[in-house]
Structure 1
């Protein structure tokens, strides 16, 4: 048990440069919330629903992180900061990183039954702050969800999703991700390429506008020249 806790704390430290020791990580709200969720989930599976909810509400009071006791969570989940909500039927794989203000929310079942209504997050996924992942969808392994993205459809393995409603950047994660990229989205190479592409488009439009203006001025000058009466070569 102690070795397992040590390995978990080391996995958090590998993804966060801030802590100076394992003892400091033990005070993280995400670590406390996950530890109390393990207890609440055990009570939930034992059908001790009131006690499970009590632990859940106490954990939320302490950490501002609301994890339903029914949620299934794998190894080494790291919730960096608080104000995160994880629904009852959510499933989370191993080595997932979630930043603040994320919702793994559910959809309203049309048949009046609960069922599977929350997302399934595969392993090694990074979810940026403020992201909203809604419904019984699947986020593939190693996917990256950008900050404030709204995701309502399945996300393929290795994709990076941005925007509202989230769209793929079409940048394959396996081409540039070495190990762990903090905050869920690329910051340099792919995005820089896209920004440069955007600048090229703007410059092209500006050049075309200048060319059109020059043609307009030339036509205007030509028309003005034709409208000026020509003087005869002899005087009366």
Structure 2
């Protein structure tokens, strides 16, 4: 738990000086703590309780993490509202997610029951505001996915995906 607090303090530039205490109010931190409990209950094969805990956490934080998702160390979810992480998603270490990020499946017509349906995110990846990664794709280590990008295929390590900005005259 202390590692989660240190991670948020380290990665959020708004947390400095006396404001560091505000980290205990971050919904991303609370969602991670809840997920760790729900994931363990899910791993033990308990019915209903892990999913109920994840839904209560979604209600309180706006962040939905399926209990089956595998999350590495030092994940930082900045702001968090609207983040969705699917059941078979795998997230590496030192990953940063901004609000409205979705790690989801492609839909019932494409995803077989029991198959890996969600993305694998490598270490040190940054997923910008509103980024959506769908399907059993792999995002390589150190990749940066910009705001509002839609990813449907594998992303090589170190890649930088951006949507070209519209310039006003």
Scaled by the length of structure 1, what TM-score is found?
Answer: 0.65
Higher relative contact order (CA 8 A, sep 6+): 2
Cα distance in 2 for partners of 1:111, 1:65 equals 23
Instruction: Tell me, yes or no, if the aligned pair for 1:103 and 1:133 is still in contact at 8 Å.
Output: yes
State the Cα distance separating 1:163 from its structure 2 match: 2.8
111 and 151 in structure 1: CA distance in 2 versus 1, 3 angstrom threshold: closer
Of 28, 31, 37, which aligns to 1:30? 28
**Which residue of 1 is the match for residue 50 of structure 2?**
52
Correspondence 1:112-123 to 2 at 5 A: 112-123=112-123
Which consecutive unaligned segments of at least 5 residues does structure 2 have?
none
Larger relative helix fraction: 1
Cα distance in 1 for partners of 2:112, 2:118 equals 15
Larger Rg: 1
Scaled by the length of structure 2, what TM-score is found?
Answer: 0.89
Instruction: Tell me, yes or no, if the aligned pair for 1:150 and 1:163 is still in contact at 8 Å.
Output: no
Instruction: Tell me, yes or no, if the aligned pair for 2:111 and 2:117 is still in contact at 8 Å.
Output: no
SS at match of 2:162: strand
State the Cα distance separating 1:6 from its structure 2 match: 2.8
SS at match of 1:26: helix
Instruction: Tell me, yes or no, if the aligned pair for 1:53 and 1:69 is still in contact at 8 Å.
Output: yes
Cα distance in 2 for partners of 1:46, 1:22 equals 35
Compute the RMSD of aligned alpha carbons: 1.8
Instruction: Tell me, yes or no, if the aligned pair for 2:102 and 2:133 is still in contact at 8 Å.
Output: yes
Which consecutive unaligned segments of at least 5 residues does structure 1 have?
165-190, 192-236
